[in-house]
Amino acid sequence: MDPDEEKVKKYLEERGFTCKRFSKKETRAGKTPDFRVFRNGDFVFFCEVKSSPKDYWLDKLLEGAPPGQIVGGRRSDPIFNRLTTDIHSAVKQVEAVNPDQKWPNVLALVNHDNMCGFDDLIGTLTGKLYTNSGNAHPIYKQFSEGRIKDERGKIHLFLWLDDSKPLQLLFSQTNHECHIRLCELLGINSNLLTLI
């Protein structure tokens, strides 16, 4: 188990859950998420873990440059492509074991990139940039309406674990039964949640 999977496992276990990996036989047979999650011996949801590593693009350019040389340049922000790739991949993994969404699907995103934040996940899922004044600007539609358009709703809860900030939760609210069940399991009043 890698350190990020251990981090998610610890977070869930501190809340009374038990995480069990799929067997080698099951993982060899096809795609699977990282964990089956149980409470009091009863299976309650699937959980996939994805990591967002620090972006070393500029560091690598600096390493190879002679002293005093200016490095860098224009490039597309890789954060949104990375997040859509993580969501796309996670959906394939949970669909392989939960095609009818009978059980809740949870995606835990462990972030190590200080240039990436929870707001980037919201922008990726909604296609909008939310400002401090409360305005929403639809500038990320190419991501939300791209390859994850029909997939993003198959994840019922996004856990955002950041290296330096408190954990954040984002419920998709796309499957009423799964949403209510996850809120009950986490002790969250579902009536207090609003859609983005």
Q: Is residue 158 part of a domain?
A: yes
Share of residues in the chain with pLDDT > 90 (%): 73
In DSSP terms, 21 is beta-bridged to 35
In this prediction, residue 110 carries a pLDDT of 97
How many other C-beta atoms can be found within 10 angstroms of the C-beta atom of residue 147? Answer: 13
Collapsing DSSP to helix, strand or coil, 3 comes out as helix
pLDDT tens for each residue of 78-97? 899 999 999 999 999 999 99
pTM: 0.89
Tokens 């440059």 belong to residue: 65
Q: How far apart are CA 20 and CA 44, in angstroms?
A: 12
Q: Is residue 121 part of a domain?
A: yes
Across 27-156, the runs of DSSP E, i.e. the strands, are 35-39, 42-52, 105-111, 129-130, 136-137
Question: What's the token pair of residue 70?
Answer: 């200016």
Q: Is residue 66 part of a domain?
A: no
Number of structural domains the chain divides into: 1
Q: Is residue 69 part of a domain?
A: no
In this prediction, residue 194 carries a pLDDT of 56
Edge-to-edge strands, sheet with 42-52:
17-21, 35-39, 42-52, 105-111, 157-162, 168-171
Return the closest-CA partner of residue 106 out of 54, 189, 39.
Answer: 39
Q: Is residue 42 part of a domain?
A: yes
Residue 94: DSSP 8-state: H
Domain that includes residue 179, residue range: 3-60+79-192
pLDDT tens for each residue of 158-169? 999 998 788 999
In this prediction, residue 193 carries a pLDDT of 63
Q: Which ranges of the chain have pLDDT less than 50?
A: 196
